[in-house]
């Protein structure tokens, strides 16, 4: 066996990196950026300088990703292998795989991280999987193609969208039953909750609107559309959202309109439309909220957005069909 | 056990819901088909080789109602389908009248064009909206029946989609071949009209025959009928399909074949994998014990979805209100092609993207990038308002 000097160098670098990563108890975060690629079957890892440092092979069709609270593990829903893979953030290896129902798409942890709620896209149900026993402890029928999942911080409510049935299901996690169905716009995708818990924002991809649900009355209190100059309403297919910690700004990806909108969360005014890549979907904000990163599914790249100037800084090629981005900081 | 409890919980939740929001009832949607419709027989060729399995578009409508049943429950409405078949025009018109008498105001019609034409004419005084789900024939769109909408793609939409693709590829010189069936000429005419709009060159238009008669070999031999002209591709209009099976790779010049063989334009192809198309195809497969969703299935599915969505979003059971909603631009139906769809006011045609596919892949989806329109790019497919005339 011959060892190529470059690979030796790479191994040494990886070793140093690994040592560095394991040292400061990870609470500070590694600064690494993780991008799931639906057709690449891998998580692409970039460092703070946006250099690709690793491609982690996963089960097929990795999509939604979440860290545990300690940021030691990264969970990845892999739709074509019916599993949630678990990546060790220190070693950047897949260390575990949790079986799910057919085609897991989006998931959320319960507050104590004892379980996850996951939408099984091909099975019209949301299931609660106990993370210790790996057993599905709740099996909640939903409309077809469930997607967005949100567990409220108090753990008392779970919200799920059904893309086909145009509704948000309100689920009582204690009983595992749907307590209310809220009819929203066409093809609801993702959910975010304002920090005070009063508003649930729902992105409705095919009616080009954001429905804002009052979480007290569980009724739609406002419906917003965002159309960048030069586009038509039907070109706007909103999906991904992110919100600043103080709840002042919401970032919304506009899908086929190839832009994100940065919105004043209180006045609902658009502060800026930022041109990103093709079919912009998921967005993540860095902890210091200086940058946002957008996954562009149809141009195989991600776009870094500077939040101070609200402009795109650069786009980077990633791999086949980037789905989600998370930043470990 | 957990699953069972959850299901009971869900039912209870719906029961509570129903009382709270809408004191609705049950809605029955009609579905009218032809007994022993020849279009859905297994596609058997010589010595009974099956080249296509039998099709049954009723499954599309059933899946549409099933997909949206839960949203109906959320507003306190339930939806069922009433399937009727008849063998002739008298039976078909009687069936529609029976449906209307039973309170059914929307009927998904799954009939060949000539019968649908008569049914629409003979029921135009009835409080009913018919949705043509499976007849692509352009002449039905220009009849302007007030009681008729179309969720089936029209010949002209399919032709425009193909022509946009050829224009994008810069394959501009076309040899048009058509067969002896009446439909073949209609498909070829729709293509020629679309080609003229985007200024493709029709190198020649030739009629083929199915035979091996040596005296007629200029018309029945693949090499000879594709010889003596220069062209970039062959457009084939062969609704029967037998000639078309043998045309690709048998042309005089090494040129692709498109139309009813080779690259085919349709409302749906099972291999589509964008915009949740895979989920739809897989759900359909489970629903039908393994059938692959076709354009007909997609169109009956969309008809059912348009009806249920209109009832729910109009939040009414009043026929006039629901009908007005369905025909308005407030209707936004998701057909898993990445855009919302509704009906054109001038010809009642459902706007939709069109897939261009081979036997196992979607090569592109029209409207293609760069084909623009002053109001809606979907209106680059099909007869547009300024050029539309009732006949």
The answer to whether B7 faces chain A, any CB pair under 8 Å, is: yes
Q: Provide the pLDDT for residue B391.
A: 87
Domains of chain B, start order: 26-153+276-352 (3.40.50.2300), 156-266 (3.40.50.2300)
Are B108 and B61 in contact by the 8 Å Cβ rule? The answer is yes
Name the residue facing A141 among B7, B340, B376 (closest C-beta): B7
Cα separation, B13 vs B327, whole angstroms: 33
B6 preceded by a cis bond (ω within 30 of 0): no
Name the residue facing A186 among B2, B74, B340 (closest C-beta): B340
CB contact under 8 A, B279 and A103: yes
Neighbours of A94 (CB within 10 A): 18
Name the residue facing B332 among A141, A181, A206 (closest C-beta): A206
Residues B363, B366, B367: CA angle, nearest 5 degrees? 150
Mean pLDDT of chain B: 91
DSSP strand pairing (B362-366 vs B233-237): unpaired
Residues of B in contact with A164 (CB under 8 A): 67-68, 334
Neighbours of A25 (CB within 10 A): 8
- Taking residues B257-279, what's their average pLDDT? 95
- Taking residues A261-266, what's their average pLDDT? 96
Lowest-pLDDT range, A264-273, B118-127, B272-281?
B272-281
DSSP string for B126-152: SS-EEEE-S---HHHHHT--TTEEE-S
The answer to whether A165 faces chain B, any CB pair under 8 Å, is: yes
CB contact under 8 A, A207 and B340: yes
pLDDT reading at A316 higher than 60: yes
Q: Provide the pLDDT for residue B213.
A: 85
Which residues have C-beta within 8 Å of that of residue B142, sequence separation ≥ 6? B347, B383, B388, B389, B390, B391
The answer to whether A233 faces chain B, any CB pair under 8 Å, is: no
* Minimum CA–CA partner of B337 in chain A: A206
Name the residue facing A177 among B9, B309, B376 (closest C-beta): B9
State both tokens at A87.
């990546």
Q: Provide the pLDDT for residue B2.
A: 43
pLDDT reading at A13 higher than 60: no
DSSP strand pairing (A125-130 vs A301-306): unpaired
Cα separation, B36 vs B57, whole angstroms: 13
Q: Provide the pLDDT for residue B48.
A: 77
Q: Which candidate, B91, B102, B138, B136, places its Cα nearest to that of B26?
A: B102
Cα separation, A19 vs B225, whole angstroms: 73
CB contact under 8 A, A162 and B340: no
Q: Provide the pLDDT for residue B42.
A: 81
CB contact under 8 A, A141 and B6: yes
Which residues have C-beta within 8 Å of that of residue B359, sequence separation ≥ 6? none
Q: Provide the pLDDT for residue A7.
A: 52
Cα separation, A235 vs B376, whole angstroms: 10
Name the residue facing A183 among B6, B71, B333 (closest C-beta): B71
Cα separation, B325 vs A166, whole angstroms: 17
- Taking residues A135-157, what's their average pLDDT? 95
DSSP lists the bridge partners of residue A119 as: A126
Give the pLDDT band (50/70/90) at residue B11. very low
Q: At what angle do helices B295-314 and B58-74 cross, to 10 degrees?
A: 20
CB contact under 8 A, A186 and B279: no
DSSP string for B14-48: HHHHHHHH----EEEEEEEEETT-GGGS-EEEGGG
The answer to whether A179 faces chain B, any CB pair under 8 Å, is: yes
Name the residue facing A165 among B6, B68, B333 (closest C-beta): B68
Question: Looking at CA atoms only, how far is residue B269 from chain A in angstroms?
Answer: 19
Question: Looking at CA atoms only, how far is residue B279 from chain A in angstroms?
Answer: 6
Task: List, for residues B313-360, the tens digit of each pLDDT value.
Answer: 999 999 999 999 999 999 999 999 999 999 999 999 999 999 999 999
Candidates A115, A181, A217, A232: best to mutate against B (most CBs of B within 10 A) is A181
Q: Provide the pLDDT for residue B245.
A: 92
Query: pLDDT exceeding 90 applies to what percent of chain A?
Result: 88
SS3 (DSSP) at B76? coil
- Taking residues B93-107, what's their average pLDDT? 97
Neighbours of B261 (CB within 10 A): 18
Task: List, for residues B152-167, the tens digit of each pLDDT value.
Answer: 999 999 999 999 999 9
Q: Provide the pLDDT for residue B173.
A: 98
Residues of B in contact with A145 (CB under 8 A): 276, 279
Cα separation, B321 vs B315, whole angstroms: 9
Cα separation, A204 vs A255, whole angstroms: 11
Which residues have C-beta within 8 Å of that of residue A185, sequence separation ≥ 6? A166, A202, A204, A206, A207, A209, A211, A223, B332
The answer to whether A7 faces chain B, any CB pair under 8 Å, is: no
SS3 (DSSP) at A159? strand
Q: Which candidate, B58, B26, B31, B37, places its Cα nearest to that of B130?
A: B31
Question: Looking at CA atoms only, how far is residue B72 from chain A in angstroms?
Answer: 9
Residue ranges of A 186-205 with Cβ closer than 8 A to chain B: 186-187
The answer to whether B339 faces chain A, any CB pair under 8 Å, is: yes
Cα separation, A82 vs A62, whole angstroms: 10
State both tokens at A105.
């798409």
The answer to whether B143 faces chain A, any CB pair under 8 Å, is: no
Question: Looking at CA atoms only, how far is residue A167 from chain B in angstroms?
Answer: 7
CB contact under 8 A, B70 and A165: yes
Cα separation, A207 vs A188, whole angstroms: 9
Question: Looking at CA atoms only, how far is residue B313 from chain A in angstroms?
Answer: 9
CB contact under 8 A, A206 and B73: no
The answer to whether B312 faces chain A, any CB pair under 8 Å, is: yes
Question: Looking at CA atoms only, how far is residue A285 from chain B in angstroms?
Answer: 26
Task: List, for residues B21-80, the tens digit of each pLDDT value.
Answer: 444 689 999 999 999 998 988 877 777 787 777 889 999 999 999 999 888 888 899 999
SS3 (DSSP) at A199? strand
Residues of A in contact with B372 (CB under 8 A): none
Residues of B in contact with A175 (CB under 8 A): 9
Question: Looking at CA atoms only, how far is residue A94 from chain B in angstroms?
Answer: 27
The answer to whether B277 faces chain A, any CB pair under 8 Å, is: no
Residues of B in contact with A138 (CB under 8 A): 2, 6
The DSSP 8-state label assigned to residue B281 in this structure reads H
CB–CB contacts below 8 A, A to B: 98
The answer to whether A162 faces chain B, any CB pair under 8 Å, is: yes
Cα separation, B178 vs B131, whole angstroms: 29
Q: How far is CA A55 from CA A35, A307, B224, in A?
A: 9, 27, 55
Q: Which candidate, B200, B204, B194, places its Cα nearest to that of B172?
A: B200
Q: Provide the pLDDT for residue A122.
A: 86
Cα separation, A188 vs A202, whole angstroms: 6
Are A304 and A291 in contact by the 8 Å Cβ rule? The answer is yes
* Minimum CA–CA partner of B71 in chain A: A165
SS3 (DSSP) at A23? coil
The residue to which tokens 């354009």 are assigned? B295
Are A68 and A113 in contact by the 8 Å Cβ rule? The answer is yes
Half-sphere exposure of A151 (CA within 13 A, CB side): 24
Burial of A98 (0-12, 13-18, 19+ CB in 10 A): buried
Residues of B in contact with A139 (CB under 8 A): 2-3, 6
Name the residue facing A121 among B6, B70, B279 (closest C-beta): B279
Exposure string of B341-366, with b = 16+ CB inside 10 Å and e = fewer, is bbbbebbbbbbbbbbbbeeeebebbb
Measured between its terminal Cα atoms, the distance across chain B in Å is 62
Neighbours of A63 (CB within 10 A): 23
Residues of A in contact with B276 (CB under 8 A): 121, 145, 163
Task: List, for residues A295-313, the tens digit of each pLDDT value.
Answer: 999 999 999 999 999 999 9
């Amino acid at each position: 066996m011959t060892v190529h000097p470059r690979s030796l160098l790479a191994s040494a670098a990886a070793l140093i990196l690994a040592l560095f990563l394991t040292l400061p108890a990870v609470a500070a975060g590694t600064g690494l950026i993780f991008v799931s690629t639906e057709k690449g079957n891998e998580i692409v890892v970039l460092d703070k300088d946006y250099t690709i440092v690793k491609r982690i092979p996963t089960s097929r069709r990795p999509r939604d990703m979440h860290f545990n609270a300690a940021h030691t593990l990264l969970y990845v829903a892999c739709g074509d292998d019916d599993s949630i893979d678990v990546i060790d953030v220190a070693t950047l290896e897949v260390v575990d795989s949790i079986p799910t129902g057919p085609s897991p798409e989006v998931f959320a942890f319960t507050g104590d991280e004892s379980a996850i709620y996951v939408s099984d896209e091909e099975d019209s149900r949301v299931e609660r999987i106990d993370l210790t026993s790996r057993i599905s402890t709740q099996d909640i029928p939903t409309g077809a193609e469930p997607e967005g999942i949100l567990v409220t911080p108090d753990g008392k409510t779970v919200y799920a969208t059904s893309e086909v049935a145009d509704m948000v299901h309100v689920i009582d996690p204690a009983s595992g039953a749907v307590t209310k169905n809220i009819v929203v716009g066409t093809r609801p995708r993702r959910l975010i909750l304002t920090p005070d818990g009063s508003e649930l924002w729902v992105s409705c991809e095919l009616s080009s609107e954001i429905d804002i649900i009052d979480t007290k009355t569980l009724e739609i209190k406002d419906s917003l559309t965002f159309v960048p100059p030069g586009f038509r309403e039907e070109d706007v297919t909103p999906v991904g959202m992110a919100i600043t910690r103080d709840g002042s700004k919401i970032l919304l990806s506009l899908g086929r309109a190839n832009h994100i909108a940065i919105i004043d969360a209180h006045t609902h005014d658009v502060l800026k439309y930022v041109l990103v890549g093709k079919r912009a979907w998921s967005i993540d904000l860095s902890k210091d909220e200086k940058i946002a990163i957008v996954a562009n599914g149809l141009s195989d790249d991600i776009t870094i957005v500077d939040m101070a100037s609200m402009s795109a800084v650069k786009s980077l090629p990633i791999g086949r069909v980037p789905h989600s981005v998370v930043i470990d900081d | 056990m957990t699953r069972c409890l959850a299901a009971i919980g869900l039912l209870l939740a719906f029961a509570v819901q129903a009382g709270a929001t809408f004191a609705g009832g049950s809605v029955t949607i009609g579905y009218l088909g032809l007994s022993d419709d020849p279009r859905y027989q297994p596609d058997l060729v010589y010595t009974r080789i099956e080249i296509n399995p039998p099709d049954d578009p009723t499954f599309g409508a059933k899946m549409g109602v099933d997909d949206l049943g839960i949203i109906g429950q959320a507003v306190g409405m339930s939806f069922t389908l009433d399937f009727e078949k008849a063998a002739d025009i008298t039976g078909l018109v009687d069936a529609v009248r029976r449906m209307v008498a039973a309170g059914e105001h929307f009927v998904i019609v799954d009939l060949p064009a000539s019968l649908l034409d008569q049914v629409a004419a003979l029921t135009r005084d009835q409080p009913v909206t018919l949705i043509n789900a499976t007849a692509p024939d352009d002449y039905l769109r220009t009849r302007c029946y007030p009681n008729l909408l179309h969720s089936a793609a029209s010949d002209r939409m399919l032709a425009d989609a193909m022509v946009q693709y050829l224009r994008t590829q810069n394959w501009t010189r076309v040899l048009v071949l058509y067969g002896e069936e009446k439909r073949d000429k209609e498909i070829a005419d729709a293509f020629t009209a679309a080609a003229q709009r985007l200024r493709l060159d029709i190198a020649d238009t030739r009629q083929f025959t199915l035979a091996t008669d040596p005296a007629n070999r200029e018309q029945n031999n693949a090499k000879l009928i594709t010889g003596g002209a220069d062209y970039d591709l062959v457009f084939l209009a062969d609704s029967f399909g037998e000639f078309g099976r043998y045309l690709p790779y048998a042309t005089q010049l090494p040129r692709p074949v498109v139309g009813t063989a080779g690259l085919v334009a349709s409302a749906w192809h099972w291999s589509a994998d964008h915009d949740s198309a895979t989920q739809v195809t897989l759900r359909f497969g489970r629903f039908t014990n393994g059938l692959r969703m076709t354009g007909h299935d997609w169109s009956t599915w969309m008809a059912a979805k348009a009806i249920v969505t209109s009832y729910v979003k109009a939040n009414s059971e009043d026929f006039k209100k629901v009908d007005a909603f369905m025909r308005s631009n407030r209707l936004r139906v998701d057909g898993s092609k990445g855009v919302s769809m509704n009906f054109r006011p001038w010809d009642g045609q459902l706007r939709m993207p069109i897939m261009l596919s081979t036997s196992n892949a979607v090569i592109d989806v029209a409207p293609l990038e760069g084909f623009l329109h002053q109001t809606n790019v979907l209106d680059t497919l099909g007869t547009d308002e300024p050029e539309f005339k009732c006949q």
